[in-house]
């Protein structure tokens, strides 16, 4: 019995002592990936080259608005054409016949209107001279015949105009001066309405669409001069200007399309499709000189316990997140202005701002790592 008690005591001691002998296993902190952007400055815009591809200022596939067999197509690929020059013609005979038919119907109705008008005037005179000689029903019938003829004239007049338009549509004319780059049909072929016949482009001016990061798009309005290079002519640099600035960012790349335009050089020809790059010279505005910073709206948040706006600043060395209060300004088409609290070179988180915590280890997603405009 004594031996059993001793064994029980040893077991109890082991139960209480063994847990104390075990070392605690530290929990491994999970490094959280975050979308982030880097605060930049105006020089970031001026010093960068953005790739693009040349395109004509105008390009269009021309087609007829009516169907029929081609009877002429006096153009070939490579021809230079002027605005309103005839490029092709559909056989007009059916459309000419239709026009003559409706014109003939219109003439008949106009003659009927003259008779109806004369009858109404005659009945009206008789009624005025002898009210009992003409009944009210006769007057109404005469007036109805006259009104019916007027309505038919209005309808047939519109039909004549439509028939004239249809006849005019048998001509395919150049919408603008340019070069024929493609022909899709052969002469004497039957073509359908809206079927592409020829493609012309106007490359008297050249456009290039480049994608500018959302961090720098606010500086596009301050660009005074654009420099353009093409891979085919690496020893040449051309001057251009901004034609259009896109106001909606791509959901995948978070970049804005900016269209630049330049004149066609006299000694060489820039063709649509040529690869190149563009860079802008920025003239800083007063807002830029005051170190204006614009960030995406989603980067700014207000904690439930505070009224102050904040952002998550990411230490580039330790890769830790720190909450920082910022003074915000007006909303723009590309984000919200930060008046105070950020400076160039700092990284800020763009997404998941309500789930980050102070000092949390993070990993900046490379695909979302872009500069923010100052």
Successive 10-residue mean pLDDT values, the chain, 374 residues? 55 53 58 80 72 93 97 95 96 97 96 93 87 84 92 96 97 95 95 97 93 79 88 93 88 87 92 93 59 78 87 91 91 80 85 87 66 46
Longest CA pairwise span in the chain (Å)? 151
Q: What is the pLDDT of residue 211?
A: 92
What DSSP state is assigned to residue 270?
P
Model pLDDT, residue 368: 42
Cβ neighbours of 140 (radius 10 Å): 11
pLDDT of residue 196: 97
- The whole-angstrom separation of Cα 346 and Cα 357 is 18
Residue 358: CB atoms within 10 A of its CB come to: 9
CB 161 within 8 A of CB 98: no
Place of tokens 């012309």: 200
Q: What is the pLDDT of residue 366?
A: 52
Three-state SS for 302? coil
- CA distance readout (Å), 114 to 65, 105, 122, 149, 160: 37, 15, 12, 9, 20
Residue 42, SS3 per DSSP? helix
| Phi and psi angles of residue 89, each rounded to the nearest 5 degrees, phi first | -145, 135
Length of the chain as a residue count: 374
* Helices (runs of H) and strands (runs of E) counted in the chain: 5, 22
CA atoms within 13 A on the CB side of 215: 26
Strand partners for 322? 313
The pLDDT assigned to 373 comes to 44
How far CA 289 is from CA of 28, 96, 315, in Å, comes to: 45, 69, 26
Cα–Cα distance measured from residue 40 to residue 170, given in angstroms and rounded to the nearest whole number: 58
Calculated CA dihedral for residues 60, 66, 72, 73, nearest 10 degrees: 10
- Which DSSP category does 24 fall into? P
Question: What is the C-alpha separation between 300 and 312, in angstroms, rounded?
Answer: 8
pLDDT at 224: 83
Structure letter (DSSP) for residue 30: P
* pLDDT score for 372: 46
Do the strands 362-364 and 32-34 form a parallel or antiparallel pair, or are they unpaired? parallel
Measured between alpha carbons, how far is 31 from 124 in angstroms, rounded to an integer? Answer: 99
Rounded to the nearest 10°, the torsion over CA 338, 367, 282, 257 is -100
Dihedral over Cα of 43, 264, 200, 274: its sign: negative
């Amino acid at each position: 019995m004594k031996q059993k008690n001793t064994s029980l005591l040893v077991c109890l001691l082991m139960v209480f002592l063994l847990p104390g002998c075990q070392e605690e296993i530290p929990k491994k902190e999970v490094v959280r990936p975050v979308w982030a952007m880097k605060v930049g400055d105006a020089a970031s815009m001026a010093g960068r080259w953005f790739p693009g591809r040349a395109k004509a200022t105008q390009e269009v596939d021309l087609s007829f608005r009516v169907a029929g067999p081609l009877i002429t197509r006096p153009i070939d690929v490579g021809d230079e054409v002027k605005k309103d020059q005839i490029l092709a013609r559909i056989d007009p005979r059916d459309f000419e016949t239709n026009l003559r038919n409706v014109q003939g119907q219109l003439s008949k109705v106009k003659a009927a209107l003259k008779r109806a008008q004369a009858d109404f005037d005659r009945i009206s005179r008789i009624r005025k001279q002898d009210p009992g000689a003409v009944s009210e029903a006769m007057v109404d019938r005469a007036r109805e015949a006259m009104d019916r003829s007027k309505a038919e004239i209005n309808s047939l007049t519109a039909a004549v105009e439509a028939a004239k338009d249809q006849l005019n549509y048998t001509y395919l004319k150049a919408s603008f001066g340019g070069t024929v780059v493609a022909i899709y049909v052969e002469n004497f072929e039957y073509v359908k309405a809206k079927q592409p016949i020829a493609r012309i482009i106007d490359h008297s001016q050249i456009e290039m669409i480049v994608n500018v990061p959302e961090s720098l798009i606010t500086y596009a309005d301050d660009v005074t001069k654009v420099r353009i290079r093409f891979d085919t002519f690496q020893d040449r640099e051309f001057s251009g200007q901004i034609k259009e600035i896109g106001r909606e960012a791509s959901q995948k790349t978070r970049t804005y399309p900016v269209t630049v335009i330049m004149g066609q050089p006299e000694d060489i020809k820039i063709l649509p499709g040529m690869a190149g790059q563009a860079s802008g010279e920025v003239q800083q505005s007063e807002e830029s000189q005051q170190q204006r910073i614009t960030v995406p709206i989603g980067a700014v948040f207000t904690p439930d316990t505070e009224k102050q706006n904040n952002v998550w600043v990411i230490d580039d060395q330790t890769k830790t997140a720190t909450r920082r209060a910022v003074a915000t300004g007006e909303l723009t088409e590309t984000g919200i202005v930060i008046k105070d609290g950020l400076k160039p070179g700092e990284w800020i988180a763009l997404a998941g701002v309500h789930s980050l915590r102070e000092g949390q280890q993070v990993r900046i997603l490379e695909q979302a790592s872009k500069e923010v405009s100052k």
